[in-house]
Amino acid sequence: MPPLAPPVHNRRVTQSRWQQRIQRAESLAARHAFAAEMLAFYAKIARFQENLYQRLEQAAKNKVSASGPPELPELLSSFAPYLSLVAEQGPAHVATVAHDLKNSGKNSWQEWLNDCWSAVEQPPAEPREFLTLAFLQPYAEFVRSRVPLQLDGYTHSLCPFCSRKPGLGVLRQQGDGGRRSLLCAFCLAEWDFRRILCPGCGEEDYKRLPVYTAEEFAYIRVECCDSCKTYIKSVDLSKHGLAEPVVDEIASVPLDLWAQEHGYAKLHLNLLGM
Ligand SMILES: [Zn+2]
Ligand SMILES: [Zn+2]
């Protein structure tokens, strides 16, 4: 039986998603001076990512590569301009790292990209790892979008596509309550996850799972766990429908400072390393 509606073309959906993130970053930057520099930097990265995504799509169609994934040559040739962009326009500490990575020589890049792509069990810690994962992110979204994910009954706390930890949560209205889903810190896959359950250690006693909010970001919850001392931020779309979770997560950096001052460690840092 044919499908009722033709499948939605990936690129159209994804393009508008990048643009939404960029516009949201610009609008939040104008409102929150403390996050303006990071958001402006994020917007530049997101523009590059969108562009790279489109070129990867094209490369996949052309299938020019003799061995390895057809997108590999495009990835490798895009890394230098990416590093230049960050070196020239990123915040000082990241710019230096990009500059050094660029000078490390093209010959080492394929292995380095591969290492970052495959380092699933070890969350990124070094600025050069975050920087590289941000570069690879559109590729991860691209590959994931072509693989049907089996999410029915999926209850784990790790990403169903790349097995990394979630970087944030999203809450949506459902009936009288809210439904929580988690977003992968790398490939941005989204999957449902029980609300009263720690994605870090599986704690399910609500008394050990305090939730904090602050007036400035009333639609973002800091969901903590007193058992494993981690936290994750969840963006409540039922309270703020215009939020772009990935971007609002970056903008709400005062909540991270607060949580960390109170002894909680972020479950997985975002790709700006925050
Ligand atoms: Zn993932
Ligand atoms: Zn926990």
pLDDT in tens, the chain (274 residues): 444 544 445 555 555 789 999 999 999 999 999 999 999 999 999 999 999 999 999 988 877 555 677 788 899 999 999 999 999 999 998 999 999 999 998 889 999 999 999 999 888 999 999 999 999 999 999 999 988 888 888 989 999 999 999 999 999 998 878 899 999 999 999 999 999 999 999 999 999 999 999 999 999 999 999 999 999 999 999 999 999 999 999 999 999 999 999 999 999 999 999 9
| CA-to-CA separations, 72 to 52, 145, 162, 257, in angstroms, rounded | 12, 17, 18, 38
Contact 149, 116 (CB under 8 A): no
**What is the pLDDT at residue 8?**
47
**What is the pLDDT at residue 178?**
84
Least distant ligand from the CA of 117:
1
**What is the pLDDT at residue 147?**
87
Query: In 3-state terms, the chain is what percent helix, strand and coil (to 5)?
Result: 50, 15, 35
Least distant ligand from the CA of 189:
1
| CA-to-CA separations, 105 to 74, 78, 182, in angstroms, rounded | 17, 14, 37
DSSP state of 108: G
Least distant ligand from the CA of 197:
2
Enumerate long-range contacts of 62-68, CB under 8 Å, 24 or more apart: none
Which residues sit with Cβ closer than 5 angstroms to ligand 2, an ion? 198, 200-201, 203, 225, 227-228
| Distance between Cα 186 and ligand 1 center (Å) | 5
| Distance between Cα 199 and ligand 1 center (Å) | 14
End-to-end CA distance of the chain: 48
Least distant ligand from the CA of 162:
1
User: How far is Cα 141 from Cα 144, in angstroms, rounded to an integer?
Assistant: 5
Least distant ligand from the CA of 141:
1
Least distant ligand from the CA of 204:
2
**What is the pLDDT at residue 175?**
83
Contact 22, 241 (CB under 8 A): no
Contact 184, 162 (CB under 8 A): yes
**What is the pLDDT at residue 13?**
54
Helices marked H in the chain: 10-31, 36-62, 72-89, 92-103, 109-118, 127-145, 245-251, 253-261
| Distance between Cα 162 and ligand 1 center (Å) | 4
Least distant ligand from the CA of 230:
2
Contact 219, 236 (CB under 8 A): yes
| Distance between Cα 135 and ligand 1 center (Å) | 14
Contact 145, 155 (CB under 8 A): no
DSSP state of 111: H
| Distance between Cα 167 and ligand 1 center (Å) | 10
**What is the pLDDT at residue 71?**
85
Handedness of CA 121, 122, 123, 127 (dihedral sign): negative
Contact 222, 211 (CB under 8 A): yes
| Distance between Cα 272 and ligand 1 center (Å) | 16
**What is the pLDDT at residue 67?**
66
Closest-CA residue to 131 (of 87, 71, 163): 87
